């Protein structure tokens, strides 16, 4: 029960890695507040947690809107009396080469993946300070460090999210608020299929190329990322801030 009596907000909790984080956090005792644009998926995550005897609510939230990000935080505080943990998992998967990316696509990638995280932290601060501290976990990516073909907006946003993590960690350390990020490699989720469709590659070849790009020759599972997020959200990582936790089957170690 590493998150017993903690209130944890998870953006992007309607699917994939975010849902796995919500479920694991609830198993560890957290009261979970899910923010996502996907109402059906978000409600389903909350239902899954409650049917397993956890505590969760869903709040429809587009994190790229500061007003909606603020409402998510206030809804969490109103439901459960405070905010202790914030996971920024929501992401826009915008791929492409620079010459092909539209202004709208750039704004969506940066608006969700970078500004969304900044807005939620901004509005969670007052509650974390009132609680004597807190933990922010940003879900960045190996794309924060390495380039990949035709991946410009997404990779740029994830690089910025890593640097946002460092900057926030420095500024918020006096408030006992730690800010770290998990950097997943290839994890099998609905986003994997979005990327495959963008490349136009055959499904089997695409999946096997991604799996073969790491030492373990397979995709990771959402739960394997959730365990990293749990470590960073819990007191077990009490002397860690401003850092990435890379979980990629060794992909960036070669």
Ligand X SMILES: NC(=O)c1ccc[n+]([C@@H]2O[C@H](COP(=O)([O-])OP(=O)(O)OC[C@H]3O[C@@H](n4cnc5c(N)ncnc54)[C@H](O)[C@@H]3O)[C@@H](O)[C@H]2O)c1
- Residue 37 or 177: which CB sits closer to ligand X? 37
Find the binder of ligand X among 7, 14, 76, 179 (CB under 6 A).
14
Closest-approach residue to ligand X (CB):
16
Find the binder of ligand X among 115, 168, 187, 245 (CB under 6 A).
187
Closest CA to 86 of 116, 66, 42: 116
Find the binder of ligand X among 7, 9, 10, 12 (CB under 6 A).
12
Give the binding range for ligand X (CB under 6 A) out of 10-18, 98-106, 127-135, 228-236.
Answer: 10-18
Closest CA to 139 of 76, 108, 207, 185: 185
What are the DSSP E strand ranges found in 140-189? 177-184
- Residue 23 or 38: which CB sits closer to ligand X? 38
C-alpha distance from residue 66 to each of 76, 124, 216 (Å) = 16, 12, 40
Find the binder of ligand X among 102, 163, 190, 208 (CB under 6 A).
190
Phi-psi region of 195 (alpha: psi -120 to 50; beta: other; left: phi over 0): alpha
Contact 154, 104 (CB under 8 A): no
- CB-based contacts of 32: which residues, under 8 Å, 6+ apart? 8, 9, 10, 13, 22, 25, 26, 46, 49, 54, 55, 56, 57
Look-up: residue for tokens 């004597």?
A: 132
Output the CA torsion 14→234→241→119 (10° steps).
40
x/- site string to ligand X, residues 104 to 133, per CB under 6 A?
A: --------x---------------------
Closest CA to 182 of 247, 136, 236: 247
Find the binder of ligand X among 101, 131, 146, 191 (CB under 6 A).
191
Q: Does 32 bind ligand X (CB under 6 A)?
A: no
Find the binder of ligand X among 61, 120, 213, 234 (CB under 6 A).
61
Question: Shortest approach of ligand X to residue 56 CB, angstroms?
Answer: 15
Asked if 119 is an active-site residue, the reply is no
Q: Could you tell me which residues are beta bridge partners of residue 151?
A: 96
- Residue 1 or 39: which CB sits closer to ligand X? 39
Distance of alpha carbon 251 from alpha carbon 254, whole angstroms: 6
Find the binder of ligand X among 90, 115, 169, 229 (CB under 6 A).
90
Size of the site for ligand X (CB under 6 A): 30
Give the binding range for ligand X (CB under 6 A) out of 35-43, 51-59, 127-135, 236-244.
Answer: 35-43
Q: Does 37 bind ligand X (CB under 6 A)?
A: yes
Question: Shortest approach of ligand X to residue 176 CB, angstroms?
Answer: 25
Binding site for ligand X (CB under 6 A): 11-12, 14-18, 35-38, 41, 61-64, 89-92, 112, 139, 141, 184, 186-187, 189-192
Q: Which residues are catalytic?
A: 154
């Amino acid at each position: 029960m590493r998150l017993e009596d903690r209130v944890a907000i998870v953006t992007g909790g309607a699917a994939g890695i975010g849902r796995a984080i919500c479920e694991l956090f609830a198993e560890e005792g957290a009261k979970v507040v899910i923010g996502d644009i996907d109402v059906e998926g978000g409600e389903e995550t909350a239902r899954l947690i409650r049917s397993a005897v956890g505590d969760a609510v869903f709040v429809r939230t587009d994190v790229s809107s500061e007003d909606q990000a603020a409402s998510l935080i206030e809804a969490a505080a109103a439901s459960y009396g405070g905010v202790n943990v914030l996971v920024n998992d929501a992401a826009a998967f915008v791929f492409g080469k620079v010459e092909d990316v539209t202004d709208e696509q750039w704004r969506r990638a940066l608006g969700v993946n970078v500004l969304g995280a900044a807005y939620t932290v901004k509005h969670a601060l007052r509650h974390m300070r009132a609680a004597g501290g807190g933990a922010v976990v940003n879900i960045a990516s190996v794309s924060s460090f390495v380039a990949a073909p035709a991946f410009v907006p997404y990779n740029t946003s994830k690089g910025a999210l890593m640097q946002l993590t460092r900057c926030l960690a420095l500024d918020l350390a006096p408030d006992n608020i730690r800010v770290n990020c998990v950097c997943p490699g290839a994890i099998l989720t609905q986003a994997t299929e979005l990327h495959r469709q963008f490349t136009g590659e055959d499904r089997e070849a695409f999946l096997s190329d991604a799996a073969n790009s790491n030492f373990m020759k397979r995709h990771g599972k959402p739960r394997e990322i959730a365990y990293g997020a749990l470590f960073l959200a819990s007191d077990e990582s009490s002397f860690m801030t401003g850092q990435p936790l890379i979980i990629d089957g060794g992909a960036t170690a070669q």
